[in-house]
Amino acid sequence: MRKIAELSQVLVAGLMVAGAPLAGQDATSRGEEIVREVERRSRGYGDLEAGLVMRILEGDRERIREMHVRGLESEDGNRTRMTLEQPADMAGTEFLSALEDDGERHQWIYLPAARRVRRISGARSSDSFLGSHFTYDDMTPPKVEGFTYRWIRDEEISGQPGAIVERTSLDDRTEYPRQLLWIETERYVLRRIEFFTSEGEHRRSLDLEQYLEIGEFWLAGRMTMVHLEDSARTILEWSDMRVGVGLSARDFEPSRLGR
Amino acid sequence: MILRRLTVWVAVLATCNVSEGLAAQANRIQVDGVRFSGTSAEAVTVPYIMIGAGHRDSMFGGSIDLSGSIQLDVQAIDASLVNIEELTFNYSAGPLDFRIGVGDVSWGLSDVRSPVDAMAPRAVFFDAYNGARLGQPLLGLSAFSQWGDLEAVIFPFPRSPHMGGRLKRTWNGSSVRSDLGWGERPVGGLRMARILGSTDIALSYVHGGERTLWISSDRPGEAGVVIPSLRQAGVELQRALGSVVLRTEGSLAKRDGDTEARIVAGAEWYPKPYLTLMVEQGLSSLNRAQASPLVDDIMLGGQLVTEEIRFSNLVFIDPKSGNRHYFVETRWTPTARTAIEVELITWAGDATQEPGLALRQRNVLRASLLRYF
């Protein structure tokens, strides 16, 4: 259950970007500059509200999670509140996740049957998110300083100017230390990430599509994470996204869960 | 009369269109078969049908919350329960939230034996420790500030604990009356909650008639549910330390002239995303006559959750007598809208060491089929 609580520190923050061009230098500094620009443009949305459908596909089997998501960006960090609507037996269950700027996570859960709010422990970054093929690492915007970068080449992406950047984690405990990023350099939006193990094996791919312009931000309306070994995948789809809806810190207090 | 109320309630539930708003809880139909063994109050199998639903929507600049259930005793319709758990109108103005209607508050941290949670009556059918919470008319006001969240609640016409099942007998054999109506001894409370880093702290005060299930005996072989007068100060603390969450809550209460201090302290450990292990100790300064004998026991528990199976168990151990109460539950969810549950409640030890006025519940087996909609 606690896994659900992290929902989208980045389902919110990491996918929202807008754009203008950059100048280029050597491969390292150009790669980092592109990623910094993506990161810079992912902040400042304030608050948002949206519906989210998660489809987990494994062979012939499909599992669906539906939830209502509220997010708040503040000086102290990001807060996300999720209300589950599906599966049916979990309807009304709420999760509140607070990610402080220093990286510390706080999480609470509200169970309608008990009508009680309880703090739960923070998830490990490599844990599966909601039983899906996303991990908490995938759902949290990584700090730019946590990687080294290398610009590989410029390449057209879906008819738009773009670049491919390699990033390598400075944390040797990371499951996928090497990643290749496909970035549209018109809007500075991520279009694809390929994940490699420390042995260099390409294990997973994340595709980001159906970008929607909401206010001054761009939102990936659809994200697909594919496990290459068995072709199992998870698809995240946003709906009814609204930013600047007037949510405040009080809406993200644990005592507000269930109301 | 009860049939008329049931009909009206079913009509209310049927009009709920969950797709237009958020579900406040799962909408479901549940069929139970409950077997009480020969060592319980009665050796009998009881079929229940339960319908539950919830809905939340915007209205008049505020929001409406609705959730409720009908628990129908197929063999004894008068022992059935209609429970509007929540039917409240909520309105926000600046830092203030108003709440009016029928509902409850759930203070405290322990699900089974919170010393702080004294204002919420429960319905007892086959499990003396985990009955459904009953909604009562309430007025609530919350204020949000940099100092924390302040909540004030009054139940001006409160409900009494409900005993609709076959548990109307205590360990010493007394038959229990539960003829209290609504409105006896109103109750209200204040609670201030605040987050300090990784620690949540809350302070509370309750004044009025206590709604925890208390049983008093006025003559041999007979006992009755009572509403004691209560003045109680409470404190709650919970803190996350890595994959462990520590919880402590305590109360100092003046109840019908007797003073009692209680504390419940425990920890939950999440070694894996699908596994939770729990330990909890309760302590009381009094020998109690409450319906639960578990107040000062050690609790050990675990929960294993997979996509389709949930297995949970709790055991309460009395360190003095060694008596043990077991609660074992398995839930299988073969499809997204169907679940099957089996629950076993059993007991082992020396019966003479159990509190005489605790509800007797030696061996109960429940099997349930749930369908969500």
Residues 162-221 of B with CB under 8 A from A: 193, 195, 198, 200
Q: Does residue A179 surpass a pLDDT of 60? A: yes
The predicted pLDDT at position A6 comes to: 40
CA–CA gap between residue B223 and residue B289 (Å, rounded)? 11
Q: Does residue A4 surpass a pLDDT of 50? A: no
Q: Does residue A210 surpass a pLDDT of 80? A: yes
* pLDDT band at residue A12 under the 50/70/90 scheme: very low
Q: Tell me, what DSSP letter sits at residue B169?
A: B
The predicted pLDDT at position A22 comes to: 46
The predicted pLDDT at position B81 comes to: 87
The predicted pLDDT at position A102 comes to: 67
Q: Which helix (H) or strand (E) holds B309?
A: strand B309-317
Q: Render pLDDT for B179-225 as a digit per residue (tens, 0 to 9).
A: 888 888 999 999 999 998 889 999 999 999 999 888 888 788 888 88
Is B305 within 8 Å of chain A by CB? yes
DSSP 3-state assignment of B163?
strand
Is A170 within 8 Å of chain B by CB? no
Looking up tokens 């009509």 gives B11
Mean pLDDT of A104-130: 78
Q: Which CATH class is domain A2-256?
A: mainly beta
Q: Does residue B265 surpass a pLDDT of 50? A: yes
Give the ranges where A22-174 is alpha helix by DSSP (H). 27-40, 136-139
Q: Tell me whether strands B122-124 and B162-163 are parallel, antiparallel or unpaired.
A: parallel
DSSP 3-state assignment of A31?
helix
B270 with A88: Cβ contact below 8 A: no
CA–CA gap between residue B109 and residue B112 (Å, rounded)? 9
Are the C-beta atoms of residues B234 and B204 closer than 8 Å to each other? yes
Average pLDDT, chain B: 85
CA–CA gap between residue B54 and residue B37 (Å, rounded)? 34
Nearest to A71 by CA among A53, A92, A45: A45
> Which residues partner with B284 through β-bridges?
B262
CA–CA gap between residue B106 and residue B134 (Å, rounded)? 11
Signed CA dihedral, B24, B25, B26, B30: sign only: negative
Are the C-beta atoms of residues B112 and B154 closer than 8 Å to each other? no
Main-chain phi, psi angles of B162, to 5 degrees: -110, 130
The predicted pLDDT at position A18 comes to: 33
CA–CA gap between residue A156 and residue B270 (Å, rounded)? 46
Are the C-beta atoms of residues A166 and A148 closer than 8 Å to each other? no
Closest partner residue to B372 (CB to CB) among A64, A89, A253 is A89
Mean pLDDT of B326-337: 92
CA–CA gap between residue B64 and residue B300 (Å, rounded)? 39
**Contact list, A124 vs chain B (CB under 8 Å):** 243, 273
B273 with A116: Cβ contact below 8 A: no
The predicted pLDDT at position B326 comes to: 93
Q: Which range (B47-56, B133-142, B324-333) has the least confidence?
A: B47-56
The predicted pLDDT at position A168 comes to: 94
Mean pLDDT of A11-26: 45
CA–CA gap between residue B172 and residue B120 (Å, rounded)? 27
Q: Tell me whether strands B309-317 and B175-177 are parallel, antiparallel or unpaired.
A: unpaired
Strands (E), B166-293: 175-177, 187-196, 199-209, 214-219, 222-226, 229-241, 244-255, 258-272, 275-284
Closest partner residue to A253 (CB to CB) among B18, B24, B149 is B149
The domain locations on chain B are: 2-372
Q: Does residue B363 surpass a pLDDT of 50? A: yes
CA–CA gap between residue A27 and residue A29 (Å, rounded)? 6
Amino acid at B327: F
The predicted pLDDT at position A14 comes to: 39
Q: How far apart are the first and last CA of chain B?
A: 28
CA–CA gap between residue A115 and residue A109 (Å, rounded)? 10
Closest partner residue to B23 (CB to CB) among A1, A64, A91 is A91
The proportion of chain A whose per-residue pLDDT surpasses 70, expressed as a percent, equals 85
Q: Render pLDDT for B9-57 as a digit per residue (tens, 0 to 9).
A: 333 233 333 333 455 567 899 999 988 876 555 678 888 999 998 888 8
A106 with B240: Cβ contact below 8 A: yes
Q: Tell me, what DSSP letter sits at residue B170?
A: B
The predicted pLDDT at position B230 comes to: 96
Give the ranges where chain A is alpha helix by DSSP (H). 9-12, 27-40, 136-139
Pick A211 or B332 by higher pLDDT.
B332
Lookup: tokens for B288: 């109690």
The domain locations on chain A are: 2-256
The predicted pLDDT at position B288 comes to: 59
Closest partner residue to A87 (CB to CB) among B108, B193, B336 is B336
Q: How many helices (H) and strands (E) does chain A have?
A: 3, 13
Architecture of domain B2-372: Beta Barrel (2.40)
Q: Which helix (H) or strand (E) holds B5?
A: helix B2-14
Are the C-beta atoms of residues B302 and B315 closer than 8 Å to each other? no
ipTM reported for the complex surpasses 0.95: no
Are the C-beta atoms of residues A224 and A234 closer than 8 Å to each other? yes
Q: Render pLDDT for A54-93 as a digit per residue (tens, 0 to 9).
A: 999 988 888 899 999 999 987 777 888 989 888 888 888 8
Question: The whole model's pTM is what?
Answer: 0.82
CA–CA gap between residue A48 and residue A123 (Å, rounded)? 23
Mean pLDDT of A162-168: 94
Amino acid at A19: G
Cβ neighbours of residue A6 closer than 8 Å, sequence gap 6 or more: A80, A95, A97, A105, A107, A123, A129, A136, A139, A140
